[in-house]
Amino acid sequence: MHTDMSCVTIVCQDEIGGLQVRSREGKWMDINPCADTLVVNVGDLMHAWSNGRLRSSEHRVVLKRNVSRFSVAFFWCFEDEKVISAPDEVVGEGGARIYNPFVCREYLKFRESSERGKFDKVGFTVKDFAGDLKQ
Ligand SMILES: O=C(O)CCC(=O)C(=O)O
Ligand SMILES: [Fe+2]
């Protein structure tokens, strides 16, 4: 289970399927394969930029049978040196930023070097890195 570090991810999975996304309520939902259809995921950078309005959902791949599966993912990120800080227009009047501003490169480094995140991408999210200022 992980969230994507990207801004937006585009996934193409074959007919075997297996991709699951966790709902706000914590329920795992199958993303059933559909011919000529791509899956678009919001990643952590977009989640932080949108001040949490767009959710970077936890997802995983679960195979119900012992078969080979093929998928390809395209991860679109902001440039390394960009600072992610939700714009005033997104935060809205009277609203508050829920994350500290951060540099994209630093977040990617954090995810790639942290014990839990190293190989299987499981673990930390932007909340762990930039704090959740609401809490
Ligand atoms: O294989 C898939 O369907 C999803 C892969 C994925 O979530 C990822 O590479 O981040
Ligand atoms: Fe992913």
Q: State the distance from the centre of ligand 1 to the C-alpha of 79, rounded, in angstroms.
A: 21
Q: 12: CA distance to ligand 1 center in Å?
A: 9
Read off the pLDDT of residues 80-131 as tens digits, 9 standing for 90 and up.
999 999 999 999 999 999 999 999 999 988 888 766 555 445 567 888 888 8
Question: Tokens 């899956």 belong to which residue?
Answer: 39
CB proximity list for 41: less than 8 A, separation 6 or greater: 4, 6, 8, 9, 10, 11, 21, 56, 57, 59
Whether 6 lines ligand 1, by a CB cut-off of 6 Å, is no
pTM, whole model, 2 decimals?
Answer: 0.88
Asked if this assembly's ipTM is beyond 0.95, the reply is: yes
Query: From the alpha carbon of 31, which atom of ligand 1 is closest?
Result: 3
What is the Cα–Cα distance from 84 to 5, expressed in whole angstroms? 13
